[in-house]
Chain A
Amino acid sequence: MDDFERDLSRLMRDTQQHTPYEPEHRQRLHAGIRTRRRSRLLWKAGGSAVAVAGLSVALALLPNLLTRAQPADPRPQPATSPTTSPDSTPTTEPSATSPTPTLQPETSLPATTTGDITPSGTTTPPADPTPTATASESRTGTTPPAPPPSPTPTTAPPSALDSEEPSASAYTE
């Protein structure tokens, strides 16, 4: 601190006037305190009123918003039964594209004369094999139509039928 700073400090202190704290100062101060307290109370009351109004509006609108945003009724589940229908068995679909088809009941159909057991468990009459023949024609396209199964096992060997299994398995679906 140099001389100027010391002089500056002394000058600031020397120029201080003693100003007594008079009753009018006190009254003015307490009047200011009351005014400030009142304004703070008003701010608090106003804030509370705004908060209550906001909550009331929110509560009034909430049921409407909930009903509007409510999701649709769940779709009815398909009725399930112990017997699986052919079109509801997804396990047969991969067999249509898989190179190693699963063994289907139709493959043994021509060789047997007793009838075919479908996946649904019903027995089809062995004398009417036409659905298999029409399905294989429509599905295979360029492939030569498979000979209609006949009760006699001389029409097609079982091994040849195994190679066209995708079309047959697709029909079963």
Chain B
Amino acid sequence: MEQVRADGFDEFAAARWSTLLHVARLLTGGDRQRAEDLVQEALVKLWFAWPKIADQAPEAYVRTVLVRLAARSARRRWWGERPVEQLPDRAGPVDVSSAVAERSRLEGALAQLSPKQRAAVVLRYYEDLPEAQVAQALGCPVGTARSHASRGVARLRQILSDAVRPMT
């Protein structure tokens, strides 16, 4: 029973790891380490709820957990940096591409939003969720979620106007 549970959970984690990590990275404004921590914590929570929701909507569950964890982590005043022996994520030759520059601009712009606005924008424009599901994930009324998304987009428009337009 435990093995079946672990197998199904591992399959889900392996299939959704990359997407969840990207969502977490967008939600944290590009902080990769924090994004990995958030995904890890969300998947740990999912493990304990797995028997109940494995057949229903585990992705919606983990997405909601991720959004709330990101909002909570953004309220913490200090995210400590731990010294390590080796520098992680050294920039390789591929990382100097324009894609990385775009991603950096996007993440830098997202980082200037409030956590709620950032989550609403990511869920609405990356996950392409309807407003009702965005509100459900944020834990707020639909009107509030719509307000967060529209204000976030307006702020991003102001920040990215000169960065996005040339690409179209």
Contacts and interface: CB of A to CB of B under 8 A. Distances in A.
Given A18-B18, A26-B13, A33-B47, A8 B99 contact: no
> At the interface, is chain A mostly helix, strand, loop or mixed?
helix
B125 A20 contact: no
A21 B43 CA distance: 13
Contacts of A7: 164-165, 167-168
Interface residues of B, number: 33
Contacts of B59: none
> At the interface, is chain B mostly helix, strand, loop or mixed?
helix
Contact of B153 (A3, A4, A29): A4
Given A4-B153, A4-B164, A15-B102, A9 B17 contact: no
A28 interface: yes
A17 interface: yes
A64 B91 CA distance: 74
Contacts of A18: 18
A12 to B, nearest CB: 4
28 contacts: A8-B125, A8-B153, A9-B125, A9-B128, A11-B102, A11-B167, A12-B26, A12-B122, A12-B125, A13-B126, A15-B22, A15-B99, A15-B103, A15-B106, A16-B19, A17-B18, A19-B17, A20-B17, A21-B17, A21-B18, A26-B10, A26-B13, A29-B43, A29-B44, A32-B40, A32-B41, A33-B47, A36-B47
Interface of A: 3-5, 7-9, 11-21, 25-26, 28-29, 32-33, 36-37, 40
Contacts of B13: 21, 25-26, 29
A8 B17 contact: no
